[in-house]
Structure 1
Amino acid sequence: MEGTRRRADYRRYRQLVESRPELFRRPAGGIDILLDEADIRAAMRTVARRNRARGLPPAASSVGVLAEDSYILALRDAVRFPDGSLGTHNRVVYANDARGVGVLPLFEGRIVLLRVFRHAIGRFLLEIPRGSVEAGDGLEETVLREIAEETGGHVATLAHLGQSFCDTSLSNAGLDYFLAELSGVGEPQLSEGIFGIVQVTPGRFAEMLVEGGVEDAHAVNAFCMARLRGLV
């Protein structure tokens, strides 16, 4: 396929090194991002040899920007690992500094879940409402907006549960989790791929976790945080 031969945009990458140096700083003793041209070429050659043995195209070793839009910046960096070996690492940087919220909503003692179709995995999941913090908004404002948009509900009380990173192998995304008592529930947001609202007791939710009926990591995280605090 033509797409597999497209090289990462190295020119844009160097622009980002100059304009957003904070993206490339790393503490000592971890995995170093290589910015010297000779080091980058050496890392690319190392990965290219490995890729050839796997039948991958040369472009799969190219360092640079892989994708960029208003939501994400996907990069492939040249890196030096702690043992001194060279390689490349992909990462996704979220445009909103990776800030988001996940909300475990309760209505009349039941947990409110969303039946969502997720494009990335191509199927439905039961999830809790979540969303990104928009410029100028705070965490609680984001919770109120997401609950209103995704469930048509209104928040009566709110409690912060904690924070968790979502997928540290690939992205810098993290969520602050909240428990929200709702005063009402409306209709799902079809434009966001939300096809229905499901309400279950906390006991039934726990059974569904064991049975594999809830696979959304954010729902699991928020429920466990609330359970450990004796809130559900």
Structure 2
Amino acid sequence: MDKFAEKTLHTERIFQGKVISLQVDDVQLPDGNTSKREIVKHPGAVAIIPITEDGKMVLVEQYRKALERSLIEIPAGKLESGEEPRTTAFRELEEETGYTTNDLQYITSFATSPGFADEVIHLYVAKNITVVENKRAGDDDEFVELVEVTLAEAEQLEQDNRIWDAKTAYAIMYARWKGIVK
């Protein structure tokens, strides 16, 4: 058992939305005292590093309302109920980029904000990508533009704060470490 575990005494559900829910847990701390924890529940997500034949990364630019600005990111999306992460990765790759692959490799999974959320992102790399003839429609409220970049261009986008999210920064570090992009 984890020596720092906090026993949940009571859970109050505050909000249930389309993507997230919010709850407040009363917990017993390891020293016997009690406290409250505000927790965002999320079904999890996938993120994909698509690599073109000429060794570039395919990114998407989209507006992020929470930050009130557009960001350039690796394609990603929420797990649907009961859906395996690999299935989600294929779906999101096609919906967001119009590409598919027969070479989808799992890299790792990681928590995005463990101090207040339970979201876990499953990261994949997609090599040997090909254009889908009849692309699956994306979300009605999602507007994206493709951006193909070299590793040096991605790093410059980070310097310019155009790439500003953790999953994409992690993906760029991984791509550099493994030498999967030019």
What band does the TM-score fall into relative to the shorter chain?
0.7 to 0.9
Higher helix share: 1
1:85, distance to aligned residue in structure 2 (A):
4.1
The CA distance in 2 between the partners of 1:70 and 1:192, in whole Å, is 13
Where does 1:1-232 land on structure 2 (aligned, <5 Å)? 27-35=1-9, 64-94=12-42, 96=43, 98=44, 100-107=45-52, 108-181=54-127, 182-184=129-131, 189=138, 191-232=140-181
Greater RCO, CA 8 A, separation 6+: 2
1:134, distance to aligned residue in structure 2 (A):
2.4
- Return the letter of the residue paired with 2:148: Q
Give 1:23's aligned residue. Answer: none
- SS across alignment from 1:221: helix
- Return the letter of the residue paired with 1:206: E
1:146, distance to aligned residue in structure 2 (A):
0.4
Count of aligned residue pairs for this structure pair: 177
Report the CA distance shift for 1:209/1:133 in structure 2 as closer, same or farther (over 3 A).
Answer: same
**C-alpha contact (below 8 Å) 1:158/1:180 kept by paired residues:** yes
1:168, distance to aligned residue in structure 2 (A):
0.4
**C-alpha contact (below 8 Å) 1:161/1:226 kept by paired residues:** no
**C-alpha contact (below 8 Å) 1:156/1:183 kept by paired residues:** no
Residue identity (%): 24
The CA distance in 1 between the partners of 2:141 and 2:96, in whole Å, is 8
**Runs of 5+ consecutive residues of structure 2 not aligned to the other structure:** none
Q: CA RMSD in A?
A: 2.6
Q: Which moved more, 1:64-73 or 1:183-192?
A: 183-192
Q: Deviations over 1:134-192 (max 9, x none)?
A: 24433322111101111122224222221111110111111111111222389995734
The CA distance in 2 between the partners of 1:210 and 1:135, in whole Å, is 37
Q: Deviations over 1:96-132 (max 9, x none)?
A: 3x3x210011223221111111122222111111112
**Runs of 5+ consecutive residues of structure 1 not aligned to the other structure:** 1-26, 41-62
Structure with larger Rg: 1
- SS across alignment from 1:66: strand
